[in-house]
């Protein structure tokens, strides 16, 4: 989906004509002081999303890019010049471990295909650096557990790139739910998907992605269901539909519908697909009210309404807000409303494995 992968053209233009206020992170109730410690980050894997992150960091109050890691020499040269990173702080995948001797790097942000998350997270931890890892944090539960253990052993923190956990409209819905505005939650629907393009890309490789749509866009519905309902699911059922077995080979899912049940009695119905556009919607229904987010997880601007009217929350650049907030987590011990640690990432991996098991067996799987 072009809107999902393309860069934000201009956040001011994007919000023109909308009843939202476009502000930076410092206007969200976080008072940034001139003496706040700045998080110095090395970006690992200089692909399309890393470029979005890098551009967003330029507006951060507490984060700057001080290192680069890539297997492509030309990218290192171009990015080094663009972001003013010295050659001594540029690494390839072979000499990356020597980053342990670089005092100018506090954390490594792993932005590679899913199957490489484990390796580079563990190597970064052994080098004594905090780790920020893109989601899903790994391709299976075992790898996720190994990543958490490695970071604990090295006494570094592991954070997962859950940008929506800092998004103002999302946080407003969570606040309203916590305060009982919707009453007892009964139902959640999460629709996430787009028509994927290049059939040769890594997202359609079982070896690199660990699956298909569920490992990419589907995780938004899984994670979103958990933070919107405010509970962990206790069972899952799921069904897969595949219309193009050439493009979506064995082990690469095209479309999966999955359903959750919760201890409270709430239920959820979700869709993850690589074969349909116009799917970016969350709907939460309770005894006293509802919340709808449309779009719900795209790069912005997020829009939402409840039974009380439109959600007039600030519009932010998600990655800018995420990185500044993560600086606060790493240096100041701040606790986000919704966790972004390795344990949070592991919960999603356990659900993903259960969904794939439900697809394979046709049975309800307990969580």
Q: What residues are annotated to the active site? A: 135, 220
Relative orientation angle of helices 168-178 and 218-229, to the nearest 10 degrees: 40
Residue showing tokens 């307990």: 366
170: nearest Cα among 332, 8, 306: 306
Query: Is the bond into 202 cis (omega within 30 degrees of 0)?
Result: no
Give the SS3 label for residue 243.
coil
Give the SS3 label for residue 282.
strand
CB-CB contact of 203 with 245 (8 Å): no
Specify which residues 69 forms β-bridges with. Answer: 44, 91
- Cα angle 324-328-332, degrees, rounded to a multiple of 5: 160
Alpha-carbon distances of 191 from 33, 222, 241, 275, 297, rounded to whole Å: 40, 10, 15, 12, 10
Q: How far apart are CA 175 and CA 266, in angstroms?
A: 19
Tokens of 346: 């592991």
């Amino acid at each position: 989906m072009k809107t999902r992968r393309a860069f934000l053209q201009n956040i001011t233009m994007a919000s023109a004509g909308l009843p939202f206020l476009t502000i930076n992170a410092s206007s969200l109730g976080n008072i940034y002081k001139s003496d706040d410690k700045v998080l110095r980050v090395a970006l690992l894997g200089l692909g399309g999303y890393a470029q979005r992150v890098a551009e967003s960091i330029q507006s951060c109050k507490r984060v700057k890019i001080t290192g680069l890691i890539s297997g492509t020499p030309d990218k290192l040269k171009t990015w080094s010049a663009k972001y003013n990173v010295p050659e001594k702080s540029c690494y390839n995948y072979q000499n990356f471990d020597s980053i342990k001797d670089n005092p100018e790097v506090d954390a490594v942000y792993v932005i590679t295909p899913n199957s490489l998350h484990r390796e580079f997270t563990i190597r970064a931890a052994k080098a004594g650096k905090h780790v920020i890892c893109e989601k899903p944090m790994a391709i299976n539960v075992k790898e996720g557990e190994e990543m958490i253990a490695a970071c604990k052993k090295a006494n570094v923190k592991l954070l997962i790139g859950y940008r929506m956990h800092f998004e103002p409209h999302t946080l407003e819905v969570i606040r309203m739910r916590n305060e009982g505005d919707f009453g007892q939650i009964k139902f959640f629907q999460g629709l996430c998907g787009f028509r994927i393009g290049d059939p040769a890309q890594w997202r359609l490789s079982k070896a690199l992605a660990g699956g298909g749509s569920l490992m990419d866009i589907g995780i938004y519905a899984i994670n979103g269901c958990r933070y919107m309902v405010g509970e962990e699911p206790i069972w899952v059922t799921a069904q897969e539909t595949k219309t193009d077995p050439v493009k979506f080979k064995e082990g690469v899912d095209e479309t999966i519908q999955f359903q959750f049940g919760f201890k409270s009695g709430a239920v959820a119905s979700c869709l993850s697909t690589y074969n349909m556009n116009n799917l970016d919607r969350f709907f939460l229904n309770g005894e006293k009210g509802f919340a709808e987010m449309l779009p719900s997880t795209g790069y912005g601007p997020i829009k939402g309404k409840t039974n009380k009217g439109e959600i007039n929350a600030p519009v932010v650049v998600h990655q800018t807000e995420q990185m500044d907030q993560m600086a606060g987590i790493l240096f100041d011990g701040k606790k986000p409303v919704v966790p972004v640690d390795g344990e949070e990432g592991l919960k999603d991996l356990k659900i993903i494995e259960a969904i794939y098991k439900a697809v394979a067996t046709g049975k309800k799987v307990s969580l």
